[in-house]
Each structure stands twice: as structure tokens, then as C-alpha cells.
Amino acid sequence: MRFLLASNSPRRRELLKEVIAAFEVVPSRYEEAGKAGEKGSERALRFAEGKAEEVFSRFPDATVLGADTVVELDGAILGKPKTQAEAFSMLRALSGKTHSVFSGVCLVTPEGKRSGVEEARVTFRPLSDEEIRAYIATGSPMDKAGAYGIQDSGFVSALSGSYSCVVGLPLERVREYCKELHLC
């Protein structure tokens, strides 16, 4: 059976290789649209399910994995920055504070569906404006929720929860679902 990753994220591709040896990337056409008052955990799960179900509708004989990651600080969802100024604002807000990272996962097969969300708590050390500007200059923040990657920023002083959840694909949850559905 074909295994499809409904994401074009290079980080998710690398992580998934730790669980599934052979898979194909089929980016989802799901339209991500936030809802007023929605919590980060709800959005991450809804988007993960939407992505997986959209790809499954095109490949109903395959196994499809969808995922989405949301950063939430003090009840506010921080998405992917659209501008460098927005990235700066997000990183300034995260500086010296603890926030939540939610990664939703949805695995759809012809036999069934498993979905859920993981939370990790991340604490940033205090950041200088110069550090933030230098990081933004690398281009790395522009395709990441919350404008940072735990793997390349050097900003994290403490982590409670799954590292892979913060990167974008909670491997523990993916392994659990694959075992339940006899995929690995």
C-alpha cells in the first residue's frame, strides 16, 4: 500500500524517515483558514485532518499522513510570518517566555483514521534585537510557525515534551498510529 505524506515540509520528510522507510510526498490542497476564538490545539488538529482527508480523497487506496504545527503564546496563535517585520515581532514576543507548540497528526487509511494532537512547552532565553535580526537574515523564520525552528535558532533554553513535536511531526504519536493500523 502506498504511504503518502500530505506535506511539502522538508523537516517532516526527514522525521518521517525514522518511522516509514518508503513514502511519497503529495502536498495537500487543503485551504488553511483560522477561526475566531480557536485554540492552538484545535487548529493544529483541524488542519492536520483537513490536509490528510484532502489527499486521501484523491488517493483513496493509500495511507495518508497529515500534520500541522501551531505556536501559541498567551492564547494568541503565531502562524508563519508574512514579512520580516512580522517575524521580528513574533520573536521579540517569544523572547524570555514560555509558549506552547501543538502538532496535530492525522493518519487516514482505507481501514480507518487516527488523529490527535501533541503539546510541547518551549522556553526561549532572552534575545537581543541583533540576534533576532541575524536569524531573520538567514531566511529560516519565514516558513515556520512562530518564526523559528528549534533545530536552527539556538533560542530555546528549556523544552518540556517532544522535540519532534516542535519540529513539526510528533514521532511518538505517528509510531503509535502506525502500530495500531499495522503499518509498521
Please say if the pLDDT value at position 1 is more than 90.
Answer: no
Q: Can you give the pLDDT at residue 179?
A: 87
Encode pLDDT of 54-69 as tens digits.
Answer: 999 999 999 999 999 9
- Which of the four pLDDT bands, split at 50, 70 and 90, describes residue 37? confident
Distance CA 70, CA 166 (A): 9
Please say if the pLDDT value at position 74 is more than 90.
Answer: yes
Using DSSP, state whether 167 is helix, strand or coil: helix
Please say if the pLDDT value at position 100 is more than 90.
Answer: yes
Q: Can you give the pLDDT at residue 33?
A: 84
Distance CA 175, CA 105 (A): 11
C-beta separation of 95 from 89 below 8 A? no
Q: What is the mean pLDDT of the chain?
A: 94
| Maximum C-alpha span of the chain | 52
Q: Can you give the pLDDT at residue 183?
A: 79
Q: Can you give the pLDDT at residue 66?
A: 97
Distance CA 131, CA 144 (A): 17
DSSP codes of every residue in 32-85: ----TT--HHHHHHHHHHHHHHHHHHH-TTSEEEEEEEEEEETTEEE---SSHH
Half-sphere exposure of 61 (CA within 13 A, CB side): 2
Please say if the pLDDT value at position 119 is more than 80.
Answer: yes
**What domains are defined for the chain?**
3-180 (3.90.950.10)
Encode pLDDT of 150-174 as tens digits.
Answer: 999 899 999 999 999 999 999 999 9
Q: Can you give the pLDDT at residue 181?
A: 81
- Which of the four pLDDT bands, split at 50, 70 and 90, describes residue 178? confident
Active site residues: 68
- Which of the four pLDDT bands, split at 50, 70 and 90, describes residue 25? very high
